[in-house]
Homo-oligomer: A and B are copies of this chain.
Amino acid sequence: MKSLQISLPGLELKNPIMPASGCFGFGREFSQLFDLSLLGAIMIKATTFEPRFGNPTPRVAETTAGMLNAIGLQNPGLEKVMNEELPWLDQFDVPIIANVAGSQEEDYIAVAKDISKAPNVHALELNISCPNVKTGGIAFGTIPEVAKILTKKVKEVSEVPVYVKLSPNVTNIVEMARAVEDGGADGLTMINTLVGMRIDLKTGKPILANKTGGLSGPAIKPIAIRMIHEVSQHVSLPIIGMGGVQSAEDVIEYYYAGASAVAVGTANFVDPFVCPTIIEELPELVRSLGFEHISECTGRSWKNG
């Protein structure tokens, strides 16, 4: 499957398909279903300095062709991720992208510093865009200058390349992308979820205990495609695209928009075998579209010819 091998900052991947953060835990559950070494990479669940329980339940609600989640960054905390999850994942031949979250600068820095030292962590994904955490977080993802400074500080301590995960809940996504590029980011991952809500017909109250949640799934794909199309023309960082990917065809659409790799989130819940299925189907699709290598597809929607 030479046609799928790709190189990105810090990442030498056998294929460009990876589960998106928060949709695959730390891989344990899916390892019962298929060999994790098949994956291009794994974006593990957001890790914060302290363990977090997250939000009260219900934490998920279905929407038309999408879902809302308000998990609230539940995770066992840096120490346990370092001592238990990452060593366990080391049995697989798959690079880990560690999703780093926090509610203040120091948290991010502390997590980034440590977790980037784990031997199988090949890159960080700076989660400045989680819509489900009340304190602080929002500014990191919506104010360019704040995002830039955070990126810079995390870069200073990280031993591996840093990808910044952009929030779609902004007026100007290019401005955000440029800011984190200025801050020294090695790549972008986009998009995180859009803030949404569903209300229960009978009770009249929001279905999610947290009221609002992040919208993901096929419903948001056209928004992600548009943003990647825009951003990829204005920054020179590689982009790992995500949002509603369900099939090999969707992966190509992301490439055409400007992505260099693709992550799969919600679709893992619909079909837990979706990642290996896409990986299996991609080479033939790439070939049938007339390409030798998938990377030829990147940015075709705006490149000449």
Point out residues on A near B: beta carbons under 8 Å.
63-66, 68, 142, 169-172, 194-199, 201-202, 204-206, 211-212, 215, 218-223, 225-226, 229, 244, 249, 252-253, 256-257, 289, 297, 300-301
Which residues on the B side are within 8 Å of A172 (C-beta)? 142
Q: How far is the CA of A6 from the CA of B301 in the complex (A)?
A: 48
Q: Which of B170, B226, B256 contacts A204 (CB 8 A)?
A: B256
Task: Give the contacting residue for A195; candidates B194, B201, B205, B226; CB below 8 A.
Answer: B226
Q: What residue of chain B has the Cβ atom nearest to residue A252's Cβ?
A: B201
CB of A223 within 8 A of CB of B196, answer: yes
Nearest CB of B to A171, in Å: 5
Of all chain B residues, the one with the shortest Cβ separation from A170 is B171
Which of A169, A205, A249 lies at the interface centre, i.e. has the most chain B CB atoms within 10 A of its CB? A169
Determine which of B66, B170, B204 lies in contact with A222 in the assembled complex, contact meaning CB atoms within 8 Å: B66
- A215 nearest in chain B by CB position: B222
What would 7 more interface pairs be, CB under 8 Å, given A196-B226, A199-B253?
A63-B221, A64-B65, A64-B219, A196-B222, A199-B225, A199-B301, A212-B226
Residues of B within 8 A of A196 (CB): 222-223, 225-226
How distant is A147 from chain B, measured CB to nearest CB, in Å?
A: 12
User: Which of B64, B289, B297, B301 sits near A218, CB closer than 8 Å?
Assistant: B64
Residue of B nearest to A197 (CB): B226
B65 touches A65 (CB 8 A): yes
**Docked-complex contact A219 and B66, CB < 8 angstroms:** yes
User: A229 contacts which chain B residues (CB < 8 A)?
Assistant: 197, 199, 206, 211-212
Interface core residue of A63, A68, A142, A205 (most chain B CB under 10 Å): A63
A127 to B218: give the CA distance in the assembly, Å: 28
Task: Give the docked Cα–Cα distance between A195 and B174 (Å).
Answer: 14
Closest to A244 in B: B64
Q: In the complex, A66→B244 CA distance in Å? A: 13
Interchain residue pairs with CB less than 8 A apart (15)? A64-B219, A142-B171, A170-B171, A194-B223, A197-B257, A197-B301, A198-B222, A199-B225, A199-B253, A199-B256, A201-B253, A202-B289, A204-B297, A215-B222, A218-B219
**CA–CA, A197 and B253, complex, Å:** 10
A120 to B219, CA, bound (A): 38
**Which 5 pairs show the lowest CB-CB distances between chains A and B?**
A196-B222, A65-B65, A219-B219, A64-B218, A197-B226
User: Is B201 a contact partner of A225 (Cβ separation < 8 A)?
Assistant: no
A204–B256 Cα distance when bound, in Å, is: 6
Q: How far is the CA of A220 from the CA of B196 in the complex (A)?
A: 9
Among A64, A198, A256, chain B packs the most CB atoms within 10 A around the CB of: A64
Q: How far is the CA of A68 from the CA of B256 in the complex (A)?
A: 18
